[in-house]
Structures are given as structure tokens and as C-alpha cells.
Amino acid sequence: MARPRPLWTGAISFGLVNVPVRMFAAVREHKLQFHYVHEPDGSPIGYQKICKAEDKPVSEDEIVKAFELEEGEWVYLADEDFEAARAAAEGGKAIQIDAFVPQSDIDPAYFDSSYYLEPEAGAERPYALLARALEQTDLSGVATFVMRDREYLAALRVRDGAIVLERMHFADEVRPADEHAPKGAKVPERELEAAVELIERLAGNFEPDRYEDTYRERLCEIIRAKRKGERVPVAEVEEPEGEPEDLLAALRRSIEEANRGKRAPARGNGGSKRNGGDGTSDLSKDDLLERAKRLDIPGRSKMSKDELAKAVEQAQ
């Protein structure tokens, strides 16, 4: 796979230290690309840039960026204007760290996109120094930087020895959560206890490899089938269930299923790659160890998670 091109180059700045870096996207999404075509002949659909006043195509050299102050009043901006704004914003090419804070202090609602920062040639030592210091203190650097005609807030943390820049929203961009919280909803103590017990039964470690984009996979199957001229049956979309009539009874049934190693059916999309017949593959290693202990499986402490799942399944 060809090495990606950097999205941005500059330097991390903290105190009097500057670390020249390049920025790369940390996420590679597997999106299916669709195109609009003319159905009778399969020709792609093109678009023209039209002047709405003259109703005719406009050449690129006649198109400029503009900001509308009031209706019909435009201020034209040239590339030099954006460069001047970048230069005024902390030098324009610096990730300026303002403070170091505990990672747990940053609400995930502020996070937008993740990027890897890579040291430029010759900057490996100060880069490694900053990475090690962040790991040792378990702090994140809060910074600002300018990219693509906009200033961003960011948090710098470390993942597997690499510095990750989490692009963030500013405080006035994050809407208050209390607008969406229910008002005056009363929760009976018995229902709360049952809900807490269910959550604790299903608690485990986050294993991202367990999940996959089942919608994309199904769409690929449909594309392959239609290419072969096969008929694709129309599936009925299941409507999400409303609140059960007896919430406490539903919680208790879910706890019983969790105790049997079966996860309660989830509402919404998303799926698991591995679905064992009795649900053992959905359990964390700690849960499997606990179940193996109850079943008195010998050698359980030295088993891997997959070995534990297999041994538990055979012993039940």
C-alpha cells in the first residue's frame, strides 16, 4: 500500500521546545463510493458552475471566495488574506500547547477527528522525549493550531509510541446535553438495581475486532448479486420496539440470559463477528475465567481467551 501524503506540516511547540512534525489521518474509512450516472447509457453525470444571475457557466479564473456581511454585500478574499490570518494565529504552522491536563478531564463530546503526528527527519529525539513524558505523566497536551483556513482546538496523547492529535470542538460548538435529558422521569429503586446488575453482568473489555460494518458487507453482497443478474429480495425493515410494558420483567429476563452466557438482543445496528452457540465468544476473558472456575476446568489460568471459550463450551 502506497504511503499516504501528509495532510499538514508544522511543529509541536511547548515552552521553548519545537518538534517539527507531519500530520497523517489516523482513520482509514472503508466507504463505498457511489456515482450518479445516466441510466440509459451509463454515462457519468457532470456538474457545471453556473452564475445564477446570468444563468451561464463560469470559468475558474472568475470564481473567488467571498463572505456575505449583509444580503448582497460581499467581501472578496484572496489567498494572501488567508495566509495573513494563519501567520497571525500563533505563527500559523505551530501546534501550540497551552496546558497539560488529565485525559479523563476531556469530555469525548469535544473530540472530532484523530491524526497521527510523525517527526520530521532529525526531530526523532525531541519527539520521543515528548511522547515518553506524556505517557509517564498520563496527561494530554491541550493545544491550538490552524489547518485549512480554520483554527482548531486539539488534545495530544500517545498511542503505541506515536503522538496522536485529537482535533476538538471549541466549547461554544458543543451543545448542552441537558437539552436532551428527560425532565422529571422517576426511576424506581428496584428497576435501577436490576439495570445496574445487568450492566455489571455484561461488563467486559472493549474488543474492537469483535465488531464490523454489517451494513457495508450486506451492500457488497447485493452489488455482487446484481452484477450476476440475480434477483435481490426486498427486506422488510424491522421497526424498533418501544418501551416494554413491564420494564422490570424485561430487565430480569435479560439478566437470566446474561447468566446463561447469552447477550440480550440489542436494538439498533452493528454486529459481532463471533457468535458462539452458547454466547461464550461474547464474554470477556475475566468472565470466562470465572465460569471456568465454577466448572472446575483444570489449567484454566494458563489458557488463552479462545481456549477458555472452547473449554467452557465443552464443559457445559
Residues 125 and 104 in one domain: yes
Q: Are 105 and 143 in a shared domain?
A: yes
Report the percentage of the chain scoring pLDDT > 90: 41
Q: Which domain holds residue 225?
A: 188-194+210-229+246-273
Clarify whether residues 22 and 124 are in a common domain.
Answer: yes
pLDDT tens column, 1-30: 677 889 999 999 988 889 999 999 998 888
pLDDT at site 244: 58
CATH for 127? 2.40.290.10
Q: What number is the average pLDDT over the span 163-192?
A: 92
Question: Is 55 domain-assigned?
Answer: no
Q: Decide which of 144, 173, 202 is a domain's last residue.
A: 173
Angstrom CA distances, 134 to 35, 53, 169, stand at 45, 56, 22
Whether residue 281 is predicted with pLDDT greater than 90 in this model: the reply is no
Residue showing cell 486539539: 154
How many angstroms separate the Cα of 48 from the Cα of each of 33, 37, 52, 59?
Answer: 21, 15, 12, 10
**Residue 191 clears pLDDT 70, i.e. is over it:** yes
Clarify whether residues 20 and 123 are in a common domain.
yes
Over residues 59-109, the pLDDT tens digits come to 999 999 999 999 989 999 988 888 777 666 555 689 999 999 999 999 999
Residue 239 lies in a domain: no
Residues 166, 107 share a domain: yes
- pTM, to two decimals: 0.66
pLDDT class of 302 with cuts at 50, 70, 90: low
- Residue 88: per-residue pLDDT: 63
160 & 86 share domain: yes
Q: Is residue 18 part of a domain?
A: yes
Report if residue 12 sits inside a domain.
yes
What is the structure's pLDDT at 66? Answer: 94
Instruction: Examine residue 37 and state whether it is found in any structural domain, yes or no.
Output: no
Is residue 23 domain-shared with residue 104, that is, in the same domain?
Answer: yes
Domains identified in the chain, total number: 3
Residues 138 and 217 in one domain: no
Q: What is residue 273's predicted lDDT score, i.e. its pLDDT?
A: 41
**Tens digit of pLDDT for each residue in 38-66?**
999 999 998 889 999 999 999 999 999 99
Going by pLDDT thresholds of 50, 70 and 90, the confidence category of residue 213 is confident
Q: For residue 57, tell me if it sits in a domain.
A: no
Q: Residues 25, 111: one domain?
A: yes
| Residue 237: band (very low, low, confident or very high) from pLDDT cuts 50, 70, 90 | low
Same domain, 130 and 214: no
Mean pLDDT in residue range 170-184: 92
Exposure of 18 in the CB half-sphere (CA atoms within 13 A): 8
Asked if 252 and 295 sit in the same domain, the reply is: no
**DSSP assigned state of 106:** S
Let me know whether 88 and 121 are in one domain.
Answer: yes
Res. 239: pLDDT tops 90: no
Q: Which residue has the higher pLDDT, 232 or 49?
A: 49
Residue 240 belongs to some domain of the structure: no
**Phi, psi dihedrals of residue 278, rounded to the nearest 5°:** -110, 10
Residue 20 within a domain: yes
pLDDT in tens, 115-152: 999 999 999 999 999 999 999 999 999 999 988 778 99
